Amino acid sequence: MSDRTAHPPTGADVSPAEARRVMRASVVGTAIEFYDFTLYGFAAVLVFGPQFFPASDPVAGQLGALATFAVGFVVRPLGAVVGGHFGDRFGRKRVLIATFLTMGLATVAMALVPTYASIGLAAPAILLVLRLIQGLAAGAEWGGAALMAVEHAPRNKRGLYGIAPALGTNSGILLAVLVMLAASYVGPAGFVEYGWRLAFGFSAVLVVFGFVARRRLTESPLFTKAVEQEPPRVPLATLIKEHPGALLRGVVYVLSVAVLGYTLSPYAVGWAVSTQGYSQDTMLLATAFGSAVGLVVMVLTGLNLDGKHRRYALLWIAIMMIPAAIVFFPLLTIGGLFGASIGMITAYVFVTAYQATAGSVLAELFPTKVAYTGVSMAYSLAYVIAGFLPLVATSIVAATGSVTWVVVINVVVALLSLTVAVGHFRRAGRTVAPAVADEPLPQGSPAA
């Protein structure tokens, strides 16, 4: 029986064990996808310049590598449109399996690309194509993983289950850091020559593991109920026509964590190594510490995203993104592993807390019939902007010799995202958020 015609239990009838299994699969799948996506970012600032661009101009080489990093974000909205179209019409599960395999195979292929010295301009061209494929897959991934977790979740735990894609994203970052650290033990010359390729090749093992986890998933019960009526023929058109405000709010809400997140990694790693005298291993280890602490923060945040204090949690988490953006770079100037770790941990505490809210907040903005398209588009459009941050920051610092304007950009974006959090705070004060925009409010809520 196809995913679209199968009829698993509806929301309230999903067993707790099944809901937990879906959440685990969402975390694992997203972690592996963002391991692949993040690995490219680290490689772009550490090795891709001399490997895939002319060695005569190191700055131009680094900018070229960061440009290929950024274009992966440009196509993410296209991935969101394609993934959202099929996800809203034919089911979340099928799309999540397809995106996972696409991302993994593209990453493994990157490990095999010859260098500029071997094949000239064909090297960065092949790298660019593979990065575009990664971007397409990433654009369709996050929204589907968020919806699968939230739409299977018990009604009183949707905030907690909504942290699944964020938990997976941060786990993927941590895994990428640890694998890059392991690969760096071959020494600086060995790392540039072949160590980074081992890290990319490791994705082949992860692809098999993640495919098994996602293959066992049941389809989203809310999607199954929604397609009892004919789904929109073109979900994107329905989204733009009927829910443009929700889409804009979603983009702005995600923008803060996207911009500051890509300030942390990969940009800050390259900046600290090139201007502050840090070693590559020190910065990768500090990032690992911050990411590990972030995983704990996400779980603690998720435990406070359900119940009467939810709206206050959302508001204060958004507010704290502002000081996080201000103090991050000054902390990194302390020096040594201690300074790097304090800077990364401080920033990751606030970034991961905010990131943990995105799954449930975005799911609340859109009705089920266009939820995959809406959540994916909001998330991807925000990351299109954020994906250019390393490139923009590198150019600004090269021109001014200071990170001041990079900090200003982060603060301005945090203020913009705060306006959406304030609006959510006011709406949540009148109603209990239903977790999907067209679902009836729970009994006992003020507006029920």
- CA angle, residues 106, 109, 111, in degrees to nearest 5: 120
What is the predicted pLDDT for the residue at 264? 78
CA dist 33 and 100 (Å) reads 6
Taking the complete model, does pTM exceed 0.85, yes or no?
no
pLDDT at residue 437, rounded to an integer: 52
pLDDT of amino acid 22: 87
Task: Quick: pLDDT tens for 246-293.
Answer: 999 999 999 988 888 878 777 888 888 888 888 888 888 888 898 899
pLDDT for residue 438 is more than 60: no
pLDDT at residue 427, rounded to an integer: 60
Average pLDDT over residues 42-59: 76
Confidence at 448, pLDDT banded by 50, 70, 90: very low
pLDDT higher than 50, residue 83: yes
Asked if pLDDT for residue 364 goes beyond 70, the answer is yes
Cα→Cα distances 72→134, 138, 153, 248, 371, Å: 7, 9, 31, 21, 23
Residue 415 Cα distances to 2, 139, 253, 256, angstroms: 45, 25, 10, 8
Task: Give the model's confidence band at 56: pLDDT under 50 very low, under 70 low, under 90 confident, else very high.
Answer: low
Beta-carbon contacts of 408 under 8 Å, excluding residues fewer than 6 positions away, are none
CA distance 319 to 317: 5
Distance (Å, whole) CA 70 – CA 431:
39
Query: Average per-residue pLDDT in the chain?
Result: 82
What percentage of residues in the chain have a pLDDT greater than 90?
19
pLDDT surpassing 50 at residue 166 = yes
Residue pLDDT, tens place only, 84-140:
999 898 888 889 888 888 988 998 999 999 988 888 888 888 988 998 998 898 888
* Sign, CA torsion 425/379/104/293: negative
What integer pLDDT is reported at residue 55 of this predicted model?
66
More confident residue, 361 or 67: 361
Could you tell me which CATH class the domain 11-430 is placed in? mainly alpha
Mean pLDDT, rounded, for 4-22: 59
Sign of the dihedral through C-alpha 54, 48, 202, 215: negative
Find the mean pLDDT for residues 175-188: 86
- In the chain, DSSP finds a helix count (H) and a strand count (E) of 22, 0
pLDDT at residue 296 is higher than 90: yes
b/e map 194-223, b = 16+ CB within 10 Å: ebbbbbbbbbeebbeebbebbeebbbbbbb
Domain boundaries, the chain: 11-430
